[in-house]
Structure 1
Amino acid sequence: MNRLQKFLDLHTGEENKQKVLENVKANISFRGATVWILACAIVVASVGLNVNSTAVIIGAMLISPLMGPIVGAGFSLGIYDFELLKKAAKNLLIATLVSLFVSTIYFMLSPFKETQSELLARTSPNIYDILIAFFGGLVGVIAITRVEKGNPIPGVAIATALMPPLCTAGYGLAIGNWKYFLGALFLYTINCVFICISTFVIVKYLQYPEVTHVDPKYRKQIKYTISTIIVLLIVPSVYFAYLLAQEKKYKQKVELFLNDELNEKGFAILYQKINYNKNPKSIELAFLNKKINKQEIQNLSSALKKYKIENTQLVIKQDTTDIKKFILENNASEKAKENEKDLMILNLENKLKQNTYNNKALREEIVILFPQIKNISLANHTFNENTDSTITKTVAIYSSTKILSTSDEEKLKMWLKKRISKNNIEMFKEQEE
């Protein structure tokens, strides 16, 4: 038993408690550079959610400084330092408001307003999010209290996912969808509270010294408050988890029905849509080369009961005009995306051509007219005329065997204007070393 206790003992490898507290306090504040880092991380996460890029979202979570005040709040509760708790809560509120403001502005300005899967995933929190936040928080706090920090902290930042819910809440505000906003904010609250609670548990377990002596009655009140908050967050999360499980169960039954009754009998399904949130629910289908008569539709509808698919209407789309329209719309959408990409590439290529000169060909021509020119290089450069405007000029830098006279340099300049069709040219002689 003693050997097992030593094996599981968290005091082994523990950092000095005072040093840990100093580090925690130092990471609470949101001022100066920390605010800029947070704002930039929010923009990166928002872009990742906007374009549905998991890698970009993970990158944003790694650079986010949001964990600081949450862990600080957990420590302050554990040692009953209420001044530290006020400071942590204040800084967490500032960080939350800054994050919401930046993400809302980004999504308002972004031309892409489609709700991507990465955004949708943050609008319906459930009990699994609580488990991730709590156990992820435990890992993070244990790592913070070690002499050797190891590599769990980045993993905790990714697992507990504080940034994406805040960005999704900003997205909800930007498009005026309160369901998305409240769902994402609820997930963010879950993450914050359960990371804080896991911190409180570890601080108590490691017996960090209390800052002030707290009356046992007041201590009980704190425990009751924490318990109430846990219940208030767990109950709706369990309910959402139940709804999610029911939806997955329903869709599995539908997939089984489609496979057994249609796919295996040679029906080529061209289009399918499951409307789970409607009342009654509906399954919309269209087939490639098969016309279904009324009797077959009735048989298929009756077969739904066999798979325990209840309160569901089977809708078979047989109007070829509608089916063709659906295919054409899909193809047109994909074609439009391809055309948009092609246009962007073409514009970039044109810009590159406009800013690029064939210096080798120009030098070969210039040497015929001006034998003293050894080399010449042309490029476009942008200059600030004042604080409000800029001007683009073509800069020509040449080297020569002997100094060109003023008239020869002017002739060269006039020739270049005609040759490259540019009126704004600046001539510079390369300095000899």
Structure 2
Amino acid sequence: MNRLTRALRWFIWDRFNLHSDAANAQDIIDSFRKGVDIKGTNLWILIFAIFIASIGLNVNSTAVIIGAMLISPLMGPIMGFGLGIAINDFQLVKRAIRNLSVAAVISIATSTIYFLVSPISDAQSELLARTQPTVYDVLIALFGGLAGVVAGTRKEKSNVIPGVAIATALMPPLCTAGYGIANGQWTFFIGAFYLFVINSVFIGLSTLLIVRFLKFPAVRYINQKERIRVRNSIMVVTMLTLIPSIYFAYRVVQKNIFQKNALRFIEREMVFDNAQLLRHKVDPSLKKINLVYVGSFVPDSVIGLKKEKLAAYQLQGASLEVRQTGITDSLRIDMLRNAITINKSTATEQEKNLEKVALLEKELMKYREQDLAQAAIVKEANALLPQITAIAVEPTLLRRVDGKTDSTTLVLVALNKRLTNGESAQLENWLKARLQTNNVEINTQIKN
């Protein structure tokens, strides 16, 4: 058993050992120190990279944005900041903060100038993606930073650092912050700058963790009181950065849940035989579902019953707005054009398309007849009882608890004055005779 335990420990140590191929600690420290300063060549490279990234965000080009991130020198001062805290070199910490602050200010100023003169002012998807950071961005920065620091402490350098620069995305948030200033979109500025802070803090934290793990020699030793003060400061900064991102992540998850539930509700409940869903829009932020139908009129009473089912799909408090429109001549023409995609290569294809056109014309004729019939019923009903201002008629099925169905006709009647009992009976008898059915469900609404 002891032999097995020793073998397992050796296997784990051999596989996960970070000390075996690590470079000399002093060489690593010197290398990190050199990357802290952003001046001269590094500063010009930063400015050029900011212009490239701003253009990429402006034209929504992912490839251009990635190229800008690859040449950015922003990782140097961030990793120098983490190294300085880890080895108690507070002069290095101050230098890193000073250089990072200068780089951030110059980057935001450069991107602001670009977006002020750019003729394209619309916020593209690549730009919008940097305005709402979440806890997932924290995890990307932390694990990306860990990968970058581990790679930076090896004897043989790899291509990990460029990958970390792409994954953690330090430059695009600063460019987005500049866009926010140039266009007066302060929510963009706050969200993007917060994302930059997240990346900076957690890349620095990951540097601190790896350097402490590798036991780099400290520049000076501090007493217990100062050590506790430094540790508490790190914890406070980390928590202040982390907590808002958790809240934003919660909001993103809630929006996704609302979106999925709303689409499930539309697919299962908002399907009608003679009315086609033309367009739908789900707004998770305002908890609104907007639907546009074309075809036969769906009675308000039916829509009201559907609204009562929102709670069954975890959509409590959501508003359902339904707009209905008849089939216009222009829409009929568009529908015919969409149906006529005739491939002249074979007669069979032509026959199939002609059949589609015939079916579509038949449907259009049915809709036209229904529209004419309802228009006639409204006029006759108003002549019979002047209180009637509008009528909607919809044949439907009533589903009983035992699973059986009864066919009926729902009639929604809009009134400007309440009907007497005699007038209600008169209306019911007239509708049964006019619609040639004894199964009529009448709902009246007083509308001034």
- Does the residue aligned with 1:22 lie in a helix, a strand or coil? helix
Asked if 1:151 corresponds to 2:159, the answer is yes
CA apart distance, 1:176: 0.9
Asked if 1:231 corresponds to 2:261, the answer is no
- Partner residue in 1 for 2:110: 102
Instruction: Kindly report the root-mean-square deviation, in angstroms, between the aligned alpha carbons of the 2 structures.
Output: 2.1
Q: Map Cα deviations across residues 120-175 of structure 1 (whole Å, 9 max, x no partner).
A: 21111111111110110000000000011122111101111101111111111111
Asked if 1:310 corresponds to 2:316, the answer is yes
- Partner residue in 2 for 1:119: 127
Q: Provide the rounded CA distance (Å) in 2 between the counterparts of 1:81 and 1:210.
A: 7
Asked if 1:191 corresponds to 2:206, the answer is no
Which of 84, 94, 97 does residue 89 from structure 1 map onto? Answer: 97
- Report the residue type matching 1:32 in the other structure: G
- Partner residue in 2 for 1:166: 174
Q: Provide the rounded CA distance (Å) in 2 between the counterparts of 1:288 and 1:54.
A: 39
In structure 2, do the counterparts of structure 1 residues 117 and 263 end up closer, same or farther at CA, with 3 Å as the change threshold? Answer: farther
- Partner residue in 1 for 2:306: 300
Asked if 1:216 corresponds to 2:224, the answer is yes
- Partner residue in 2 for 1:44: 52
- Partner residue in 1 for 2:349: none
- Partner residue in 1 for 2:291: 285
- Partner residue in 2 for 1:401: none
Q: Provide the rounded CA distance (Å) in 1 between the counterparts of 2:274 and 2:164.
A: 49
Q: How does 1:333-412 map to 2 (within 5 A)?
A: none
Asked if 1:246 corresponds to 2:226, the answer is no
Which of 192, 207, 221 does residue 215 from structure 2 map onto? Answer: 207
- Partner residue in 1 for 2:42: 34
Q: Map Cα deviations across residues 345-368 of structure 1 (whole Å, 9 max, x no partner).
A: xxxxxxxxxxxxxxxxxxxxxxxx
Which of 180, 183, 202 does residue 188 from structure 2 map onto? Answer: 180
- Does the residue aligned with 2:291 lie in a helix, a strand or coil? strand
- Partner residue in 1 for 2:79: 71
- Report the residue type matching 1:103 in the other structure: S
* Count of residues in Structure 1 that have an aligned counterpart in Structure 2: 323
- Report the residue type matching 2:111 in the other structure: S
Q: Provide the rounded CA distance (Å) in 2 between the counterparts of 1:51 and 1:307.
A: 39
CA apart distance, 1:283: 1.0
In structure 2, do the counterparts of structure 1 residues 145 and 251 end up closer, same or farther at CA, with 3 Å as the change threshold? Answer: same
Q: Provide the rounded CA distance (Å) in 1 between the counterparts of 2:177 and 2:36.
A: 23
- Report the residue type matching 2:164 in the other structure: V
Q: Provide the rounded CA distance (Å) in 2 between the counterparts of 1:289 and 1:11.
A: 72
TM-score (norm 2): 0.69
CA apart distance, 1:2: 2.6
- Does the residue aligned with 2:295 lie in a helix, a strand or coil? coil
CA apart distance, 1:289: 3.2
- Report the residue type matching 2:144 in the other structure: G
Q: Provide the rounded CA distance (Å) in 1 between the counterparts of 2:299 and 2:275.
A: 14
Q: Provide the rounded CA distance (Å) in 2 between the counterparts of 1:62 and 1:290.
A: 57
CA apart distance, 1:304: 1.6
- Partner residue in 2 for 1:419: none
CA apart distance, 1:35: 1.2
- Higher mean alpha-carbon deviation, 283-292 vs 165-174, is at 283-292
In structure 2, do the counterparts of structure 1 residues 22 and 317 end up closer, same or farther at CA, with 3 Å as the change threshold? Answer: same
Q: Provide the rounded CA distance (Å) in 1 between the counterparts of 2:273 and 2:243.
A: 45
Q: Provide the rounded CA distance (Å) in 1 between the counterparts of 2:15 and 2:272.
A: 56
CA apart distance, 1:112: 1.4
- Does the residue aligned with 1:273 lie in a helix, a strand or coil? strand
Q: Provide the rounded CA distance (Å) in 1 between the counterparts of 2:67 and 2:272.
A: 44
- Does the residue aligned with 2:217 lie in a helix, a strand or coil? coil
The runs of 5 or more residues in structure 2 that have no matched partner are: 1-8, 335-448
- Does the residue aligned with 1:248 lie in a helix, a strand or coil? helix
Q: Map Cα deviations across residues 280-305 of structure 1 (whole Å, 9 max, x no partner).
A: x2111112434322122212222222
Q: Provide the rounded CA distance (Å) in 2 between the counterparts of 1:250 and 1:73.
A: 41
- Does the residue aligned with 1:268 lie in a helix, a strand or coil? strand
Q: Map Cα deviations across residues 204-227 of structure 1 (whole Å, 9 max, x no partner).
A: 011111111211210111111101
Q: Provide the rounded CA distance (Å) in 2 between the counterparts of 1:290 and 1:58.
A: 51
CA apart distance, 1:266: 7.4
8 Å Cα contact 2:177-2:189 kept in structure 1:
yes
Q: Provide the rounded CA distance (Å) in 2 between the counterparts of 1:224 and 1:92.
A: 22
The runs of 5 or more residues in structure 1 that have no matched partner are: 329-433
- Report the residue type matching 1:297 in the other structure: I
Q: Map Cα deviations across residues 222-258 of structure 1 (whole Å, 9 max, x no partner).
A: 1111011111112111111111111100000011111
Q: Map Cα deviations across residues 183-220 of structure 1 (whole Å, 9 max, x no partner).
A: 11111101000000000001101111111121121011
Q: Provide the rounded CA distance (Å) in 2 between the counterparts of 1:307 and 1:7.
A: 49
CA apart distance, 1:263: 5.3
Q: Provide the rounded CA distance (Å) in 2 between the counterparts of 1:293 and 1:158.
A: 54
Q: Provide the rounded CA distance (Å) in 2 between the counterparts of 1:266 and 1:140.
A: 60
In structure 2, do the counterparts of structure 1 residues 266 and 193 end up closer, same or farther at CA, with 3 Å as the change threshold? Answer: farther
Q: Provide the rounded CA distance (Å) in 2 between the counterparts of 1:88 and 1:211.
A: 16
TM-score (norm 1): 0.71
In structure 2, do the counterparts of structure 1 residues 307 and 266 end up closer, same or farther at CA, with 3 Å as the change threshold? Answer: farther
Asked if 1:273 corresponds to 2:281, the answer is yes
